[in-house]
Amino acid sequence: MDAVRRQFPYLRAKPQPVYLDSAAMAQVPDAVLDAVNAWEQSSRSNVHRGMHERAEASTIAYESARSTVQTFINATHADEIIFTKSCTEAINLVARSWGEQNLHTGDAVVLSILEHHSNIVPWQQLQERKGIDILWVDMDDEGGLRYDQLETHLQSGRVKLVAITALSNVLGTAPDLPKIISLAHKTGALVSVDAAQAIAHMPIDVQELDCDFLAFSGHKLYAPTGVGVLYGKRELLQSMPPFLGGGMMIRNVTTEGFSPADLPAKFEAGTPPIAQAVGLAAAIDWLKQYSWKDIQTHEQEILQLTIDRLKSIPALHILGAAGNFQFSIFNFQFLHGCLSFTLSSVHPHDLTEILGRKGIALRAGHHCCMPLHKRLGIPASNRLSVGIYTTKEEIDACVKAILEAQKKLHP
Ligand SMILES: Cc1ncc(COP(=O)(O)O)c(C=O)c1O
């Protein structure tokens, strides 16, 4: 762990920070900062337009970042990788482009109650514009999805798309994607996966999953902010209209109109996030030195310890699966990256503020999941999230501070 933490400038600080907010944003290692710095110093130039040496170096770096992402998620073609500014923008691209073109009054999109607002609002905007229906899939008490409801929705024959998270950013539960994708495809519905959280905690193979779209952000994967990725199956992306208009997304422009460029340029209007894409590729290369097995074993040990410790705190309630399972039978295929909890009579914002003053970073609020919190019957919760660098000492420090805060607020 020391060797991992030493690679993160923020985690080298003294006193050592207790950073349990990686689900909001992971920290960046030196390797990523160095790669971005190297591009700034030796290649900084716009891509796909200059003929000079720097422009070529920059274009090569940018396109090589695309290949790195392609390999990382095992996409068939590099042009199935579209760089966006974020996961949110990638989902909006699907809704605005594919959705506007393919969804009509009476069609339905299925969402789960676990979704982040980024995977709700773009579909609600489409509902307003196109008169489509949104059909919701509820969860069971352990944060698992009600697959029976999904099947009922799909049997209606109206569902054109299932937009689903690969990992809840509140409960840490991972829906059974292969099952969902197979059920949806049997009825001819497409599946768009929100992998914002999953991307840093589990291997993702888009060919094996057979998902139609998949979106994520760099900043939760130890990469810079300002870059996201949309994966789409090539034939789908080819058939979709451009999302944003501007430079570089065209084949031809006249005073009468324009014709769009081929993939991936069609969806990358204007100057793309070049430095950020280079940083994302560096983060992926950096992460690849560790095996997924080691990463998952470590994070799951930490989560197991967290549950163990939190359960000993009186009046603390862990939400979803983590709160209900017994350790001995705990299925960690089901839980990754984070968990959330409430503490009786203590508002989450009060708790995280007190912890924050002690240098302990947790997140409080609805975590951009208001429908899920409504379903849970609470306005807000505290979220503790882990990453490759999280230590047992951090969990111990956090639990100690929660106990102290509890005593202070309710002596
Ligand atoms: C599950 C999930 N989806 C989507 C997003 C949106 O990601 P971004 O804000 O990077 O676009 C987040 C961010 O927290 C998330 O946790």
Tokens describing residue 130: 């196109």
Could you give the CA distance from residue 41 to residue 210 in angstroms, rounded to a whole number? 40
The answer to whether residue 66 is domain-embedded is: yes
CATH number of residue 277's parent domain: 3.40.640.10
Q: Is 183 in the pocket of ligand 1 (CB under 6 A)?
A: no
Q: Is 338 a catalytic residue?
A: no
- Domain membership of residue 26 (yes or no) is no
Determine the distance separating the centroid of ligand 1 and the alpha carbon of 99, expressed in angstroms.
Answer: 20
pLDDT category at 321 given cuts 50, 70, 90 is confident
pTM of the model as a whole: 0.97
How many angstroms is it from 226 CA to the middle of ligand 1? 12
> Is residue 144 within 8 Å of residue 305, measured between CB atoms?
no
Q: Does residue 331 belong to any structural domain of this protein?
A: yes
- Let me know: does 386 contact 21? Beta carbons within 8 Å: no
Q: Are residues 133 and 267 in the same domain?
A: yes
Per-residue pLDDT, 50? 81
How many whole angstroms separate alpha carbon 206 and alpha carbon 211? 6
The DSSP output letter for 329 is: G
In a domain? residue 25: no
Query: Ligand 1 pocket test: which of 113, 118, 193 has the largest number of ligand atoms within 8 Å of its C-beta?
Result: 118
The model's pLDDT over 26-79, given as tens digits with 9 standing for 90+, comes to 999 999 999 999 999 999 999 998 889 999 999 999 999 999 999 999 999 999
Tell me the two tokens of residue 303. 């989560």
State the total domains in the chain: 2
Task: Please tell me the predicted confidence (pLDDT) of residue 69.
Answer: 98
Residue 184 lies in a domain: yes
d(CA 245, CA 296): 41
Average pLDDT over the chain, rounded to whole?
95
Pocket test for ligand 1, best of 170, 192, 197, 367 (most atoms within 8 A of CB): 197
Q: Are residues 140 and 179 in the same domain?
A: yes
Does residue 89 share a domain with residue 208?
A: yes
CA–centroid distance, residue 94 to ligand 1 (Å): 15
Residue 233 CA to residue 211 CA, distance in Å, equals 8
Spatial contact of 319 and 339, defined as CB atoms under 8 Å apart: yes
Catalytic residue among 87, 368, 369, 398: 368
Q: How confident is the model at residue 327 (pLDDT cuts 50, 70, 90)?
A: very low
Q: Longest C-alpha distance within the chain, in Å?
A: 73
Range of the domain at 186: 31-287
The residue nearest atom 7 of ligand 1, judged by CA position, is 87
Same domain, 137 and 261: yes
The reply to whether 126 and 216 lie within a common domain is yes
Dihedral pair phi/psi, residue 201, rounded to 5°: -125, -10
Residue closest via CA to ligand 1's atom 15 equals 196
- Provide the pLDDT for residue 328: 39
Q: Is 21 in the pocket of ligand 1 (CB under 6 A)?
A: no
Are 345 and 240 members of one domain?
no
pLDDT tens per residue across span 229-241 = 999 999 999 999 9
Check whether residue 12 and residue 85 sit in a common domain. no
Would you say the CB of residue 116 lies under 6 angstroms from ligand 1? yes
Q: What is the pLDDT of residues 7-40, one digit of tens each?
A: 999 999 999 999 999 999 999 999 999 999 999 9
Are 346 and 217 part of one and the same domain?
no
Q: Tell me, using a 6 A CB cutoff, whether residue 382 lines ligand 1.
A: no
* Contact 196 CB / ligand 1 (< 6 Å): yes
- pLDDT digits over 274-292, tens only? 999 999 999 999 999 999 9
Q: Are 279 and 32 in contact (CB under 8 A)?
A: yes
Please state the rounded mean pLDDT for residues 361-389.
97
Q: Let me know whether 58 and 175 are in one domain.
A: yes
Query: Of 220, 252, 287, which one is at a domain's C-terminal end?
Result: 287
Verify that 10 and 42 share a domain, yes or no. Answer: no
Domain boundary among 270, 287, 304: 287
42 and 161 both lie in a single domain:
yes
pLDDT for 331 equals: 54
pLDDT at 143: 74
Verify that 313 and 188 share a domain, yes or no.
Answer: no
